[in-house]
Amino acid sequence: MAEILQRDGTWTFDGDTLRLTPGRDKGVSLLRKTLGELTVPLGALAGVSFEQGKKSGRLRLRLRDGSDPLLQATGGRLTDANDPYQLSVDSDRYGVAEYLVDEIRGALLLDEVPIDAVDTYLLAGPAVPLSVSAGDGTASFDGDHVRLEWNWKTEDAKAASGARTLSLADIAGVEWYPSVGLENGSLRFTVRNAPTKAPPKYDPNSVELWGFKKDPLMALVAAAVQARLPHPSAPAPHQPTLPPARPDRPAPEEDHDALLRRLRELGDLHRSGVLTDEEFTLAKQAVLKRM
């Protein structure tokens, strides 16, 4: 086991998983404290590095693309302070940090963990129920529904529509953007069959963020929803295809009865709607040729 304890947090590696526990120091961000301990399986890691400085260094984890709903929902827009996959290291602990890096790299090599993207989440995402108040509203998520409620700072036209309750089944996507400079941030839900180009200030499916302390916590709501949506890289639902082409003459095992059974199967698929008229006709002709 390899472990490093710092004011910024504690990382512990047992060969299979890496536990990331945020520190209690006042310099630790509110997002990391609220997110709590993360358990990262070895298979979710693409790499680890340690950068030394004169007074302090920094451990950084690189996760495989698509493995974490938090990173998926925030799209790389978390600041270093809010990134749970970084750890500040005091200069007198550089040796421990390098040892931890060697242990993780050795395990990745030993287990032959690939570094390519994945099509399923390998981390669970924030626990629910979850509720955050920031910007012009409050976003709550119970695992099945998102509820958006407005406050006195909400634009009148947006507040007039009242509180919003969105079923998870109606949500096509979610994104969190931080406030940068003079540009406000947002937590935005994309609702199926209801496209909009309205800015978050007027969009009833968005919370507008103004750069205050609790804004990053909206990223946790985004991650919790993202974890329960279909993975964006997941294979498309199975589409029925025609049977593979076969020689015109049946093989010895393709007797007359087998071909008749195949015709009945094709008829059942056609009646149930699995095969279109065109697909059924082509498949039937191919079977009849072999008869």
DSSP string, the chain: -EEEEETTEEEEE-SSEEEEEE--STTS-HHHHHH--EEEEGGGEEEEEEE--SSEEEEEEEEPTTS-HHHHHHTT---GGG-TTEEEEEGGGHHHHHHHHHHHHHHHHHTT---S--SS-SS--S-SSEEEEETTEEEEE-SSEEEEEE-TTS-HHHHTT--EEEEGGGEEEEEEE--BTTB-EEEEEEETT------TTT-TTEEEE-S-TTGGGHHHHHHHHHHHSPPTTSPPPP---PPPP--SSPPTT--HHHHHHHHHHHHHHHHTTSS-HHHHHHHHHHHHHH-
* pLDDT tens for the 291 residues of the chain, in order: 899 999 999 999 999 999 999 999 999 999 999 999 999 999 999 999 999 998 899 999 999 999 999 999 999 999 999 999 999 999 999 999 999 999 999 999 999 999 999 999 999 999 999 999 999 999 999 999 999 999 999 999 999 989 999 999 999 999 999 999 889 999 999 999 888 889 999 999 999 999 999 999 999 999 999 999 999 988 876 555 555 544 444 444 446 677 677 677 667 766 766 556 766 676 676 667 665
pTM, rounded to two decimals: 0.78
